[in-house]
Structure 1
Amino acid sequence: MKQDILTLYSITGGPGAGKTTLLDELNKNGMITVPEEGRKIIKEQMESGGEGLPWMNKELFAHLMFEESAKTYRKINQMIHSEPIFFDRGILDTLGYMRLENIPIPELMKTKAREMVYHHNVFILPPWKEIYENDPERQQTFEKAILTFECMKRIYQEYGYNIVEVPKAAVKNRVRFILDTISYNN
């Protein structure tokens, strides 16, 4: 039996805005969370000497990320859960990345993105300079993080999602904001 799509939530935004920290805290609060595919792909490509890295071959990276995101979505969507599931980035994040990097988006990807839907409310974390840090998998500048945020916001809106901006606050307050929002809207 297929899961009710209304319980699948995407949390998006630019890099370094606190998404992974937020997802970890949601998980500690008993919520089901799905990690970001991009970091996993970067680690795998770095370990194997592959070229599918955003600083080496952006198009290959985007295709790998889309395929992994779609595979994970299908797997999660087949599970039966009554509680919400939170994704660290959704399918549309790959399309947003491709647009940001001027990579042509194949029609098949656009079609799949329309088919693999999340709850109509998408949580977006704004750029937050005070917490922004680079690491081996995150090599973008803060300016690029701002551009990514704007691009993600636009692409989700173009696909008909309602953007809910999560306030810059302590992670426990961000969790409370999200849980209060989904309780109010369900």
Structure 2
Amino acid sequence: MTKKDECLFVVTGGPGAGKTTLLAALAALGHAVMPEAGRAIIRDQLAIDGAALPWRDQALFAELMLNFDLRSHGEAQTGSTPVFFDRGVPDSIGYLRLCGLPVPAHLDRAARAFRYSPLVFAAPPWREIYAQDAERKQDFAEAERTYEAVTAAYCDQGYELVELPRADVETRVAFVLERVRGLASDG
């Protein structure tokens, strides 16, 4: 892990747990944010009637997510301030495990090579804010299973998970920034 990797902060969790809302609020405050791969890929694949959709070809969808996340990781290396990610490389491992599919060796190598801050923020399942839409077809039970799968993948990769509070976005932003500042002052 490089010193720069320590400034790359992932927000992970199941769908519909407020990750994207949190990251939008961080971006509005001027923080660098990398978008979620899954939603971008689903939008693109729907537009072209492509095969890399989670309800058509889960392995191909995971491969495109990996490529998207590797590119995002590389782009984040050019700055000198913290960058917040809507998911990261280990999320693809969790996704494949959730689907009962094997994790390819190159994905495991990528998760070990492309590192983030050791502290990962986990947005827990939150029924009160959960909603399905055109890109989010999972029911709440699957959202809960996704949370378990992706957080386990981060733990397996040696990350420390900090669960976000089930609270309004301002409280979540303050929670994240306080921990990030705490890490900076410890370093």
TM-score when normalising by structure 2:
0.95
Question: CA shift at 1:73, angstroms?
Answer: 1.2
Report the Cα distance in structure 2 between the residues aligned to 1:114 and 1:179, rounded to whole angstroms: 26
The residue type paired with residue 116 of structure 2 is Y
Per the alignment, residue 82 of structure 2 pairs with: 84
5 Å-filtered alignment, 1:27-106, equals 27-77=27-77, 79-81=78-80, 83-106=81-104
5 Å-filtered alignment, 1:90-129, equals 90-129=88-127
Is the contact between residue 121 and residue 164 of structure 1 (CA under 8 Å) also seen in structure 2? yes
Question: CA shift at 1:113, angstroms?
Answer: 0.8
Report the Cα distance in structure 2 between the residues aligned to 1:18 and 1:113, rounded to whole angstroms: 24
Task: Please give the per-residue CA displacement for 1:95-139, whole angstroms capped at 9, x wherever unaligned.
Answer: 110111011111111011100000000000000000000111000
The answer for unaligned runs of 5 or more in structure 1 is none
Per the alignment, residue 13 of structure 1 pairs with: 13
Question: CA shift at 1:69, angstroms?
Answer: 1.1
Per the alignment, residue 180 of structure 2 pairs with: 182
Question: CA shift at 1:163, angstroms?
Answer: 0.3
The residue type paired with residue 22 of structure 1 is L
Report the Cα distance in structure 1 between the residues aligned to 2:62 and 2:5, rounded to whole angstroms: 25
Identity %: 41
The residue type paired with residue 39 of structure 1 is R
Report the Cα distance in structure 2 between the residues aligned to 1:4 and 1:63, rounded to whole angstroms: 25
- State which drifts further: 113-122 or 65-74: 65-74
Q: 2:156 aligns with which of 139, 155, 158?
A: 158
Report the Cα distance in structure 2 between the residues aligned to 1:134 and 1:56, rounded to whole angstroms: 18
The residue type paired with residue 86 of structure 1 is F
Is the contact between residue 8 and residue 76 of structure 2 (CA under 8 Å) also seen in structure 1? no
Is the contact between residue 70 and residue 91 of structure 1 (CA under 8 Å) also seen in structure 2? yes
Q: 3-state DSSP class of the match of 1:39?
A: helix
Question: CA shift at 1:185, angstroms?
Answer: 2.1
Question: CA shift at 1:85, angstroms?
Answer: 0.3
Is the contact between residue 3 and residue 80 of structure 1 (CA under 8 Å) also seen in structure 2? no
Question: CA shift at 1:87, angstroms?
Answer: 0.3
- State which drifts further: 17-26 or 2-11: 2-11
Report the Cα distance in structure 1 between the residues aligned to 2:165 and 2:136, rounded to whole angstroms: 22
Report the Cα distance in structure 2 between the residues aligned to 1:34 and 1:80, rounded to whole angstroms: 12
TM-score when normalising by structure 1:
0.95
Task: Please give the per-residue CA displacement for 1:62-115, whole angstroms capped at 9, x wherever unaligned.
Answer: 1111111112212222x032x210000001001110111011111111011100
Report the Cα distance in structure 1 between the residues aligned to 2:160 and 2:175, rounded to whole angstroms: 16
Is the contact between residue 94 and residue 149 of structure 2 (CA under 8 Å) also seen in structure 1? yes
Per the alignment, residue 137 of structure 1 pairs with: 135
Q: Would you identify which runs of 4 or more consecutive aligned residues in structure 1 move more than 2 Å?
A: none
